[in-house]
Amino acid sequence: MLSTNGKTSRIKVRDKFFNLYLEKEKIDRIVSGIATCIDLDYQGKNPLFLGVLNGAFIFASDLLRKVKIPCEISFVKYSSYQGMASGEKVNRIIGLNETIRGREIIIVEDIVDTGLTMAKLLGDLKAFEPASVKIASFCFKKEAFRENFTIDYCGLEIPDLFVVGYGLDYDGAGRNFPDIYQLDETQ
């Protein structure tokens, strides 16, 4: 369904409908702001960006294209979601291959909600003795957060909504939308 400005205001992903929440132009401005902060904080350094698959691949790609400092990127895959709910068990599916001892690490995540996945990743990374670890998350659900760590680069704090698009998914679908959509609770 198109709105008056030509944007798709409502989408269907699998069996659910979602309404427009955040347009790609605003997303781009947020990512640019995060990149600028990282450039300032990491002048003269060569951090390793560590994207958390599957969701963070789009944010990581956009962020790396905007960052001006020398850097590298790698990916890990952790999973806690099943359907629309975050589970209590976090599984590491793909691990880290790079040597990170003494390196500056920036974890790139699409969304932090309960924080369980990030807490597991942070614990795993600690054993490799990086110089520092910071977190860049596009979205943060403060209401759902149950852990005790800091998100150093937070793009957008959102209420405890279920959202898709810009890498965020519903059961693996909906990641490809350039805008972010929230679940239509009236259906």
pTM: 0.91
CA quadruple 8, 32, 72, 145: dihedral sign: negative
DSSP string, 87-119: EEEEEEEE---S--TT-EEEEEEEEESS-HHHH
56-86 b/e (C-beta count within 10 Å ≥ 16 → b) = bbbbbebbeeebeeebebebbebbbbeeeeb
Q: Which residues are catalytic?
A: 113
Walk along the chain (187 residues) and give the pLDDT tens digit of each residue: 544 456 789 999 999 999 999 999 999 999 999 999 999 999 999 999 999 999 999 999 999 999 999 999 999 998 765 556 555 677 665 678 889 999 999 999 999 999 999 999 999 999 999 999 999 999 999 999 999 999 999 999 999 999 999 999 999 999 999 999 999 999 7
CATH of 45-81+95-173, one of 3.40.630.30, 3.90.700.10, 3.40.50.1220, 3.40.50.2020: 3.40.50.2020
Integer angstrom CA distances of residue 141 from 35, 95, 155: 21, 25, 11
